[in-house]
Structure 1
């Protein structure tokens, strides 16, 4: 065995741990779904172009992401009844950050990133932006509204930055 082999092993394991930690740091709830189904660990809605179009259609139909027991509501019953919407429901209910402090942590992490987001993290960031924008419309307190507006702005900047990095 070469003298440098243990150093390489330590270096590679450190890099692997840092990559895994950094990836989990953005949306940690994606790796611990409450429903206990293995297939729902790290769920992603968009796997094909049809899924992308479906998500766009759902958002245009007026999908609402709210706090409470049933957090996702799609006014179009036909869209809401589709089986593929189940994963979107899991993402909205179990993965997305809902508290302002969680969203601020997320935006701070996103601001420091120097590489493009994964497809899953990009999808979750867009959905978090949707949730935050809808929350701004519901909040009555002026200070809370300003705080949520700042979060919406930061999420938008993060998405814009990611799109520039991906080109």
Structure 2
């Protein structure tokens, strides 16, 4: 089984800091109800408050392992054993798009109205942007450009949700 360990570089630290800032801004902007356990009509979300934003940051800063099937696990085994990490794994491995075609589809399915994104959609877009940044760093120059374009589109969607300003890539 081939595994790809992801190490945090300076540029990734900036990306992670940006992610924490976006999650914090979204949490402060929208007082959405979220739940830790799935219910039939309520989507699973990790982020309930600002504290969860910092927990996601700790997960990402500790490093991720992405296997050949794009299954993501935390490098830190102690963190990975927590209840919060199990919810994080469930979301990142089942809800977050990880291929260029599924990311484009998710972006295309975003509501065209001026309403705010639901918390689960917002969270998935932010985590997909982190994933695309990781993929860009470990790709060839040609693939890096494609992943970078997807990253830009994801960040533009998140930024539009937070500020209502259109960001062009």
User: What do residues 10-30 of structure 1 show as CA deviations (whole Å, max 9, x unaligned)?
Assistant: xxxxxxxxxxxxxxxxxxxxx
Alignment match, 1:121: 121
Corresponding residue number in structure 1 for 2:46: 45
Unaligned runs of 5+ in 1: 1-36
* Counterpart position of 1:97: 97
SS of aligned partner of 1:73: strand
Structure with the larger strand share: 2
Q: Which has the larger radius of gyration?
A: 1
Alignment partner of 1:143 is 2:160: no
- Output aligned runs, 1:48-127, within 5 Å: 48-65=49-66, 67-68=68-69, 71-110=71-110, 112-127=112-127
Q: State whether residues 96 and 128 of structure 1, in contact with CA within 8 Å, keep that contact through their aligned partners in structure 2.
A: yes
User: How far did 1:144 drift?
Assistant: 2.5
Contact kept in structure 2, 1:117 and 1:162, CA below 8 Å: yes
Q: How large is the Cα RMSD of the aligned pairs?
A: 2.7
Q: Decide whether the 8 Å contact of 1:132 with 1:151 is kept in 2.
A: yes
Count of aligned pairs between the two proteins: 128
Question: Structure 2: 5+ residue runs without aligned partners?
Answer: 1-36
More helix by share: 1
Q: Distance in 1 between matches of 2:143 and 2:113?
A: 27
TM-score (norm 1): 0.65
